[in-house]
Amino acid sequence: MSAPLDVPIRDESIRLGQLLKLAGVVDDGAVAREVIERGLVAVNGEVDTRRGRQVRVGDEVTFEGETLHVTAGP
């Protein structure tokens, strides 16, 4: 597994599907919806199938061996 990738967000939270797009691990919202609904994404170690799940600064999201660490943006 690679080192966590910091993904800065500008607000205090972001929807899970939007985070995957922002981080560049999926190409678009349709792919984000599919991988989330199939149970391929975990938030803080627990699989979550809700695309609208609010992810906050400090959360860790894993997908296909990649760990995304949500950080506060500028």
Domain ranges of the chain: 5-72
1, pLDDT greater than 70: no
What pLDDT shows up at residue 23?
96
Express each pLDDT in 20-65 by its tens digit: 999 999 999 999 999 999 999 999 999 999 989 999 999 999 999 9
Query: How high is the pLDDT of residue 24?
Result: 96
The whole model's pTM is what? 0.93
- Count CA atoms within 13 Å of residue 53 on its CB side: 22
How many Å apart are CA 59 and CA 38, to the nearest integer? 21
| Domain at 5-72: CATH code | 3.10.290.10
The tokens describing 19, both together, are 């985070």
